[in-house]
Amino acid sequence: MTLRCGGRMQMADGATGVEQGWDRASILALFDAEAGWLDRRVLSDQALYQLELERIFARGWNFMCHDSQIPNVGDYFINYIGEDQVICVRGEDGEVNVLLNTCRHRGNALCRAEQGAAKSFVCSYHGWNYALDGKLIGVPGQSSYFHGDLDRSQLGLVKAAQVDSYLGFWFATMAPDAPSLHDYLGDVGRTGIGMICSYGDVEVIDGIQKNVIDCNWKIAVDNLFDWYHVMYSHASAGSAGIFKPAEILHPNNQLVMLGEYGHAISGPGLPSERQTQIDLMSDEERIEASRSAPANSQRIRPRLGAELMGASGVRSMGHPNIFPNLWITLGGMQVCLRLPRGPSKTELWWFTIVPKDAPASYRKVAVWTAIHLFGPGGLLEQDDGENWSQSTRASVGFSSRQLGQTLKMGLGHDRVTVDEHGQRFIDTRINEHAQRWLYRSWTEWMAARDWAELRARHSPAPEGAV
Amino acid sequence: MTLRCGGRMQMADGATGVEQGWDRASILALFDAEAGWLDRRVLSDQALYQLELERIFARGWNFMCHDSQIPNVGDYFINYIGEDQVICVRGEDGEVNVLLNTCRHRGNALCRAEQGAAKSFVCSYHGWNYALDGKLIGVPGQSSYFHGDLDRSQLGLVKAAQVDSYLGFWFATMAPDAPSLHDYLGDVGRTGIGMICSYGDVEVIDGIQKNVIDCNWKIAVDNLFDWYHVMYSHASAGSAGIFKPAEILHPNNQLVMLGEYGHAISGPGLPSERQTQIDLMSDEERIEASRSAPANSQRIRPRLGAELMGASGVRSMGHPNIFPNLWITLGGMQVCLRLPRGPSKTELWWFTIVPKDAPASYRKVAVWTAIHLFGPGGLLEQDDGENWSQSTRASVGFSSRQLGQTLKMGLGHDRVTVDEHGQRFIDTRINEHAQRWLYRSWTEWMAARDWAELRARHSPAPEGAV
Amino acid sequence: MTLRCGGRMQMADGATGVEQGWDRASILALFDAEAGWLDRRVLSDQALYQLELERIFARGWNFMCHDSQIPNVGDYFINYIGEDQVICVRGEDGEVNVLLNTCRHRGNALCRAEQGAAKSFVCSYHGWNYALDGKLIGVPGQSSYFHGDLDRSQLGLVKAAQVDSYLGFWFATMAPDAPSLHDYLGDVGRTGIGMICSYGDVEVIDGIQKNVIDCNWKIAVDNLFDWYHVMYSHASAGSAGIFKPAEILHPNNQLVMLGEYGHAISGPGLPSERQTQIDLMSDEERIEASRSAPANSQRIRPRLGAELMGASGVRSMGHPNIFPNLWITLGGMQVCLRLPRGPSKTELWWFTIVPKDAPASYRKVAVWTAIHLFGPGGLLEQDDGENWSQSTRASVGFSSRQLGQTLKMGLGHDRVTVDEHGQRFIDTRINEHAQRWLYRSWTEWMAARDWAELRARHSPAPEGAV
Amino acid sequence: MSALEVAAEAATAPAPLSLAERALLQFEVEQFLYAEAALLDARRYRDWLALIAEDIHYWMPIRRTVTNSDIEREFTKVGDMAFFDDDRAMLEMRVKKLEAGSAWSEDPPSRSRHFVSNVRILDVAGDEITLEAAFHLYRTRLNTEVDSWIGRRTDVLRREGESFRIARRHLFLDQTLIRATNMSTLF
Amino acid sequence: MSALEVAAEAATAPAPLSLAERALLQFEVEQFLYAEAALLDARRYRDWLALIAEDIHYWMPIRRTVTNSDIEREFTKVGDMAFFDDDRAMLEMRVKKLEAGSAWSEDPPSRSRHFVSNVRILDVAGDEITLEAAFHLYRTRLNTEVDSWIGRRTDVLRREGESFRIARRHLFLDQTLIRATNMSTLF
Amino acid sequence: MSALEVAAEAATAPAPLSLAERALLQFEVEQFLYAEAALLDARRYRDWLALIAEDIHYWMPIRRTVTNSDIEREFTKVGDMAFFDDDRAMLEMRVKKLEAGSAWSEDPPSRSRHFVSNVRILDVAGDEITLEAAFHLYRTRLNTEVDSWIGRRTDVLRREGESFRIARRHLFLDQTLIRATNMSTLF
Ligand code: FES
Ligand code: FES
Ligand code: FES
Ligand SMILES: [Fe+3]
Ligand SMILES: [Fe+3]
Ligand SMILES: [Fe+3]
């Protein structure tokens, strides 16, 4: 199925932030990568937001769900591509289908539950019936009222243009010409997901926490790379004893990886020497060491870790983000989706993940950690939301929105290293490389009219000095 | 009084749905009558909605109230023309005046009650006093503060450009050049109102139910013609026993009438043979038969029915809609107004109507039926709202709004018959003729810059194959 | 610091009120000063509202707070310039600094309390620390993470372009090229503030009442000049006995002063003969007489009154407004700010003020009067809000917004007198001179692209016939 | 009306009972009302029906915004239009509909919370107790829909053995425009 | 403060009364408060005035958003600015205004619902009872206006014969910015 | 289930107690719950902790919008994900955090109001009382943030001398999507 092509209004000269359209040059000017300066309007402009839904979310690969959430034929989980609701359902063939949750008759939503199991999807309005792969298989009155001439083959549920999974994590894009998931993820994206699976096959624990914050989705993404705020924002969580900043932060051992199309990983990294020691341990020893403290940032991953994350990536104790909005945290024990709901509203969805074969004791600690650190009731997470909403709010006022954000930390002070396997990474201190990469990539996505242009004009993953 | 002429922004090439203006061609392209394809943006686009307020609601004839609601001089009922609040008041001369409910001084609302009785309308801000016909009759300090030179004749409440009634039902339009109410209604509109009055003069029972649904007003209008959804949407109401689908639906005896400017009637129709039998009964017999089961769809109308509805129209057991938004239901026992409150919000107002001379027992059943089938607590109506709101919602997302709605039922399979009196109708099965006519007319209303253009370019009521 | 220059979209011919931009001619046409006709869209148009934030609020001098609210170094009070939140804080040097309440790092709000005392402003996100004058004095990790190369001198809190006080009342503007506060206020603005201070130095009583009304801010400003509505709107307050209209209104002794840039004073004025008598009284006698009835409109001011308000201005018992939004009422015992929160939302902030040396008994009566007349629970104020919100609402509907407001009272019937000291005033009856002046000035502010143009093209304070 | 009379009306209506008796009756009645509310919130509609008397009048008239001079027309009268005007058979039909597998508009089902506050027993006559209460029915649906219906209600409870049955429920909503898609939840 | 002390403070304040006596007093007080609320919601303002003591202090200070370090300034003090600071004469004036035929801002009248919850008797001293409660005043106007004022209040009731009079009502709103056009409704 | 059974279940659960005994227990329990709520609303977190049993289970599972056929999965189970799943140590940590001078997200502090309604004692076993209630936690922050969390909760109170300690609090929210920035307020 072909989506109608939606062009963009030409930018009127001197148009105001509130009403204007945006051309390539004005979009690229929103972030000055050399100066580490970001135009605040990226957080509040309504036209930019609409463009994001089209050029970032409909075009990128969006995380849908994990294999374990929908194990059986007919199991489904509702998710979003931007603001478009989709059904992620296990088809008869065992594959996952991603279908726009809207009937082709009058548009009614097929599924209204957040999750469930279905034999087929029957519309509550007139009873059109769709198979698990979206095919329209039943239309009441098809022969009598429709005289048998309704072409059902043209009226199936709209499928995402591409659906694919990596290590059990399903993604979808509305763009037929998007790169394959494998290519899209690239080394950095795969390293990120690999982090989750370093201890083997995983499953999602029942219960996705969902809440809404009055902030732009990008400030939440910026924050996941931000190990600078931990000491100050989360001081009270530290003093309450829920985490020990010193054990977690390692400000002078930070490992950053920047991937094509905007993916990045940032945060503490084991020094290579420490990794070398770990490499000498047996898998059993490593797992034993890890499981004794799952919330601990000392990631002593089994051999599988290095296979999935690379020899350098495996050192990461930080935070991957799969562009645009999938954060991997707690060393892979949780992922958090940030779903856009308008320029100043974001839904956060928290998925908690454990290795399938993890002992009950590990699972218990994992759940405890996930609940008490993150999510709306988590002692860390409580501190973040209002900083994000207040930062978003300060991009609205007439004078305040003329200002920029400052993203200068480490700018020009670091180098990308390439290891013997070709994996690129930066060993450094606390920095803002990943955030700059996020916004640089974001402007390129936003400025490109289609995938051909994005492919042609996006920045390659950085080499050399950054 | 002359309204300032409000032109429309020229459409920028490739403008987005959110911000763009709409030219004639792009409006007409919103509905493809040949293909039965409707652009979903008609349910969500903000600019289209603003244009509707101007080109549909301010320009069309809007239902105001029934004679019986405001029997005495000074009785008033508040209603709307689009989003403009109006006072419908019985004037000193017994005629109904329709006045914009806004003081000519600073604009304050004169009436804040929903209904009532007034000797004149005194503004709560500075006490300007308007007669029941809108004349400004009192201005505090007129001689002292205004030095006697305020020209009160120019400052009366703004009257609707035309106000007229048919069978006690009052309508108003803001367009001085609109056709007369009689011509506007045409055969189909008059048949619709005639349905209500087939048993003689009627009155509105005290109590207008009002509620708000998060849907576009047009999906609610579409639904009134929609006898296809009854079996599925209302299955539980059927199985609870509140109605017997079989007695009501008559899927193979459907009568459709399509009237100039968008009016239509659709739904079950008595077979002509059955009507011939009825024609042989006395009025007494017919009324007796009808009143024994007022909710029943078997409409055995007295002779007056055929006079008001025509020889073919009298067979209708279906749903007329006076374009744009007045639904006549339960065989004339209720009407429901759908008032626009933004692209995704509609107020529903339910009026319940009985013949003036109906016995108490009939009245009781009528009220019972109205309360328990329709309105927010009604067992049928409960099922509809969420289908409409979810259909509206699915016209917003970036990918979903690229899609169309499918309105193909019966397309190309029927013929318009003209009876000996020139009345046009279609005898057929369950179908979507009326919905297609609704949207075809809607595009013509929306595309025409003024009544002259609308008169010249609108489609005549269909003849021949449909 | 230089704000990015925000130009305006060119107006498309025939653009709708909802989406259009506004050029000089179309803005000036919004108010016809000769006819006393105001286009209602000034109360509801979104683009005009955005333009107001830029051309009125960011450019004008906005009231911030009074000296007494922040007596000590570090004391702060949060206020707004349009929708931009600012911190008004007493600096180390005793001067008041006005700082945009947004961190230069990611934009987070520094202060979240409404008032308080601070040694410096530490951002809750990453701990950047700003001195009371806005200087960035602390950045965690400045040497380690930022490698010492962050130019803190460029990253202080943004200061209002100009900050100044008159008689202890602090004002700020974002426009570096705005006239000085003294010149901006002119005779009329200074007379207004002088009214508050006629009995000597004042202080603000603890407790600023704040509430939100669904109205445009200008209808609230219009209302403060409006002595016409008192008799009718507040009839019930009068009959309840909270005020005696006759003692307050003096409909035939109204004194109006119109000042450059839109300031005005309107309301009852002592006849010159009465003032002449007062001039013969000693200060002690005058103060004694005033204090016996502080709510009373008979303002028997000491000599200082005439010094601050001028020989003619001192006669005013009316309401000054410092353009755009600072109302002085109760003879200087209260001021009320009207803060814009969208075209149809306004926050009202009430400050209650007494002479520093006022006896406890006076203070008690002042507080009683302020609480029981004004503010959301006040017996007068209760009556106003809904008139304003309904007037605002009636500027939205398609037909209603085509209409105008009528501001014709006294138009062409009065003369501006110039007294021996050059002070201009109008002695007249109840009238709408000040409202017309408000809107005339407003169109000039809105039409001028910058201060140079505003200076060059604004109307001088009226002379001769008005 | 003097303060004493008002107070008397307020505090001593069911005169023959002692304060302690009244307090115990209040306890019984409140517990019954809370238990009833809990049944609805737990979607135990059948069990709820068992608390409904055969001759119940379950009624919610339409409220209108009217001027003070017209205040006696604020609510519609019995026999005119209403939002609910149900007898037991009709309530059974509502429950039957909710139980039907095909009640799509309640599948996923709504989530309700019935707050019963300010309970005052106005009259005790034979086995019938007339009471007034303030109610807040809070309903959420899907992930986004939130409705609150607030008002006053008068109930008549009829004592039956150890418990009560509801013989009347008259609901006086505060809103005049229902700000909800439907009222598919029992009050 | 130990758990015991807290519990003691919470549960045993009016020490000399037995549990049963306290329960009965609670019942009386609650019934009075509910009846009082019902008078306001029924717009029987004169009857409500009859419940007001001659020396009432009816006060609602202004709440501010302040930092923890400044928390003692969260509410304004008696004598400083407030939303209400009324004596009986002032309340009479409010009622007089509501009764005036010309109270346009209350014509059509508002619809109010006073929820009184979590009532705790803090002190019984002579004929005076000090209590604390959570309140929710819900008001609708016209077809579209909805306001909710929520907070804590402390009342002093003075026993008068079979009933009480209200000798103090101090209202501590939770909101710092009043999100309403006015507060023309009595609390 | 017959009406009688329902009524029986509703009204007579803790069988051995007389009506008067039950009414007094209800009074005690309600007063305890109100006092507890008042401590939280007064930000006396330490004092509140004193009411918490050593072995408390303070738990709020995640609610989901599910179809009727899937209704047993509406709430997550113990051991799966939740919003709260706290023992006493964890609650102490929450209080410690609130008390820390550096809890920026609670400085300025939130303003909360805990409405406890429809309290029903479901069981009395030894020194433990199991009750169910409807709750409404209303929170405002700064000048603009307003949150309402509404649902059902079951508590277990354990008698300790003259007062109680809370041995269990299970909170069943009505919302499936939390419409708030965080849940930094204790329930
Ligand atoms: S909308 Fe789905 S079947 Fe009609
Ligand atoms: S606004 Fe109506 S009289 Fe002034
Ligand atoms: S946003 Fe203020 S320090 Fe980072
Ligand atoms: Fe954080
Ligand atoms: Fe239907
Ligand atoms: Fe006024």
* Residue E8 binned pLDDT confidence (cut-offs 50, 70, 90): very low
C209 contacts in chain E (CB < 8 Å): 62, 81, 83, 178
Is the pLDDT reported for residue B20 higher than 80? Answer: no
Q: Note the pLDDT tens digit of each residue in B202-228.
A: 999 999 999 999 999 999 999 999 999
Partner-chain residue, chosen from C112, C124, C210, that has the shortest CB–CB distance to F142 = C112
* pLDDT in the model for residue C1: 33
Nearest to C263 by CA among C86, C415, C16, C458: C458
Q: Cα of F102 to ligand 4 centre, how many Å?
A: 14
Check residue C299 and give its pLDDT. 83
The answer to whether the Cα torsion of B443, B447, B453, B457 is positive or negative is negative
What is d(CA A63, CA A77) in angstroms, rounded to the nearest whole number?
A: 12
Query: How many angstroms does the Cα of residue F162 sit away from the middle of ligand 3?
Result: 50
Residue from B121, B124, B128 whose mutation best tests the ligand 2 pocket (most atoms within 8 A of CB) = B128
In this structure, the answer to whether residues B143 and B290 fall within a common structural domain is: no
**Do D140 and F174 count as a contact with CB atoms less than 8 A apart?**
yes
Q: Give how far Cα B235 sits from Cα of A125, A382, B231, C86, D97, Å.
A: 11, 46, 6, 59, 9
Residues of C in contact with B10 (CB under 8 A): 12-14
Tokens 């979590």 belong to residue:
E118
Sign for the pseudo-dihedral over CA of C229, C233, C236, C237: negative
Q: Name the least confident of B15-19, C286-290, F72-76.
A: B15-19
Q: How far is E28 from chain D (nearest CA, A)?
A: 7
- Provide the pLDDT for residue C172: 98
Q: Residue A207 domain-assigned?
A: yes
> What is the pLDDT tens value at each position of chain C, 466 positions in all?
334 323 223 323 333 333 357 999 999 999 999 999 999 999 999 999 999 999 999 999 999 999 999 999 999 999 999 999 999 999 999 999 999 999 999 999 999 999 999 999 999 999 999 999 999 999 999 999 999 999 999 999 999 999 999 999 999 999 999 999 999 999 999 999 999 999 999 999 999 999 999 999 999 999 999 999 999 999 999 999 999 988 899 999 999 999 999 999 999 999 999 999 999 999 999 998 888 765 555 689 999 999 999 999 999 999 999 999 999 999 999 999 999 999 999 999 999 999 999 999 999 999 999 999 999 999 999 999 999 999 999 999 999 999 999 999 999 999 999 999 999 999 999 999 999 999 999 999 999 999 999 999 999 999 999 9
How far is the centre of ligand 6, averaged over its atoms, from the C-alpha of A91 (Å)?
Answer: 67
Find all residues with CB under 8 Å of D66, minimum gap 6, and list them.
B113, B114, B115, B116, D73, D74, E108
Provide the CB-side half-sphere exposure for D93 (13 A, CA).
Answer: 20
Q: Is C31 part of any domain?
A: no
Q: Is residue C20 part of a domain?
A: no
B19 versus B191: the higher-pLDDT residue is B191
**pLDDT given for residue B228 in this prediction:** 98
Q: In terms of domains, do B388 and B282 share one?
A: yes
Among residues F60, F92, F49, which one has the least CA distance to residue F170? F60
Surface-to-core class of residue D154, CB atoms within 10 Å of its CB (0-12 exposed, 13-18 middle, 19+ buried): middle
Which residues in C107-120 are b (16+ Cβ under 10 Å) and which e? bbbbbbbbbbbbee
Q: Measure CA A420 to chain center.
A: 29
Structure tokens at F183: 């849940």
Nearest residue (CA) to ligand 3, atom 4: C126
Per-residue pLDDT, averaged over B387-408, amounts to 97
Residues with C-beta less than 6 Å from any ligand 3 atom: C 103, 105-106, 108, 123, 125-128
Residue E13 has pLDDT above 60, yes or no: no
Distance CA A70, CA A64 (A): 11
Quote the tokens at residue F92: 């102490």
Distance E113 CA to ligand 6 centre (A): 27
Domain boundary among C133, C165, C197: C165
User: C317 and C235, same structural domain?
Assistant: yes
CA of E174 to the centre of ligand 3 (A): 29
- The mean pLDDT value for F153-166 works out to 96
Residue A3 has what pLDDT? 39
Give the whole-angstrom CA distance, residue C333 versus residue D49.
Answer: 63
Ligand 5 centroid to residue F68 C-alpha, Å? 22
Query: Cβ-count burial of B196 within 10 angstroms (0-12 exposed, 13-18 middle, 19+ buried)?
Result: buried
Is residue B146 within 6 Å of ligand 2 at its C-beta? no
Residue D25 tokens, joined: 């009756």
Partner residues linked to B77 by β-bridges = B88, B115
Q: What would the mean pLDDT of B442-457 be, rounded to a whole number?
A: 98
Strand ranges across the sheet with C162-166: C62-66, C169-173, C162-166
Strand partners of residue C268: C254
Residue B429 φ then ψ, to 5° = -100, -175
Read off the CATH number of the domain in which C94 is found: 2.102.10.10
- Tell me, what's the pLDDT at B247? 87
> Which residues have a Cβ under 8 Å from the Cβ of A217 and sit 6 or more positions away?
A324, A325, A338, A339, A340, A346
Contact residues, chain B to chain E, C-beta under 8 Å: 112-114, 124, 210
> In the predicted model, what is the mean pLDDT of residues A16-36?
82
Q: Please tell me the predicted confidence (pLDDT) of residue C143.
A: 96
Structure tokens at D47: 């069990």
B residues 225-264 lying closer than 8 A (beta carbon) to A: 226, 228-229, 231-233, 251-252
Q: Is C306 exposed, middle or buried (0-12, 13-18, 19+ CB in 10 A)?
A: buried
C321 three-class SS = strand
User: By CA distance, what is B395's nearest residue in A?
Assistant: A107
Residues of A in contact with B30 (CB under 8 A): none
Domain range for C249: 188-465
Total domains present in chain B: 2
DSSP secondary structure of A205-265: PS--EEEEESS-HHHHHHHHT--SSHHHHTHHHHHHTS--HHHHH-TT-EEEEE-GGG-EE
Confidence class of residue A438 from pLDDT cuts 50, 70 and 90?
very high
Q: Ligand 2 pocket test: pick from B111, B123, B145, B150 the residue with the most ligand atoms within 8 Å of its Cβ.
A: B123
Q: If you average pLDDT over residues B25-40, what whole number do you get?
A: 97
In a domain, A16, yes or no: no
Would you say residue A300 lies in a domain? yes
Cβ-Cβ contacts under 8 Å, B124 against chain E: 104-105
Complete DSSP assignment for E116-175: EEEEEEEEEETTEEEEEEEEEEEEEETTTEEEEEEEEEEEEEEEETTEEEEEEEEEEES-
Q: Are residues B399 and B253 located together in one domain of the fold?
A: yes
With contact defined as beta carbons under 8 Å apart, do C307 and C336 qualify?
A: no
pLDDT at A295: 56
Q: Model pTM? A: 0.95
- Which positions in chain B have a beta carbon within 8 angstroms of at least one beta carbon in chain D? 112-117, 205-214, 233, 235-237, 239-242, 347, 350, 352, 364, 367-368, 370-372, 375-377, 379, 381-387, 389
In this complex, the chains that touch B, judged by 3 or more CB pairs closer than 8 A, are: A, C, D, E
Tell me the pLDDT band of F16, cut-offs 50, 70 and 90.
confident
| Position F9 pLDDT exceeds 70 | no
DSSP symbol at C265: E
Three-state DSSP state, C336: strand
Task: Tell me: do B436 and B336 sit in the same domain.
Answer: yes
ipTM: 0.95
Burial of C452 (0-12, 13-18, 19+ CB in 10 A): exposed
CB atoms near residue C368 (< 10 Å)? 16
Same domain, C142 and C252: no
Best mutation site among F143, F144, F145, F181 for testing chain C: the one with the most C CBs within 10 Å? F143
Higher pLDDT, E85 or A14: E85
Look up residue C133 and give its two tokens: 């004058």
Beta carbons of D88 and D54 less than 8 angstroms apart: yes
The CATH number for B213's domain is: 3.90.380.10
- Judge: B402–A108 Cβ closer than 8 Å, yes or no: no
Helix A303-313 with A181-196: angle, nearest 10 deg: 120
The ranges of chain D with pLDDT < 50 are: 1-4, 6-8, 14
Residue type, E89: A
Co-location of A254 and A290 in the same domain: yes
**Within a domain: residue A177?**
no
Same domain, A362 and A262: yes
Please report the beta strands in C101-251, taking only residues with DSSP state E, as ranges in sequence order: 115-117, 121-122, 129-130, 136-138, 162-166, 169-173, 202-204, 209-213
Nearest CA to C152 among C134, C133, C137?
A: C137
Q: C241 and C127: one domain?
A: no
Whether A447 and A312 map to the same domain: the answer is yes
Q: Residue range F16-34: average pLDDT? A: 96
User: Which residue among B133, B165, B197 closes a domain?
Assistant: B165
- The 10s digit of each residue's pLDDT in B339-373 is 999 999 999 999 999 999 999 999 999 999 999 99
Q: Does residue A203 share a domain with residue A111?
A: no
Would the pLDDT of A17 be above 60?
no
Residue A17 domain-assigned?
no
Cα B6 from chain centroid (whole Å):
25
* Stronger pLDDT, F5 or D122, i.e. the higher one: D122
- The answer to whether position C41 is within a domain reads no
Measured in angstroms, the CA of B87 and the nearest CA of chain D are apart by: 14
With CB atoms and an 8 Å threshold, state whether D174 touches E111.
Answer: yes
Q: Using an 8 Å Cβ cutoff, are B146 and B110 in contact? A: no
Cα A3 to Cα B399: distance, rounded to the nearest angstrom: 7
Which residue in F11, F134, F177 is closest to D35 by CB distance? Answer: F11
A28 SS3 class: helix
Could you tell me if B144 and B245 lie in one domain? no
Closest approach of chain E CAs to the CA of C111, in angstroms?
9
CATH number at F51-187: 3.10.450.50
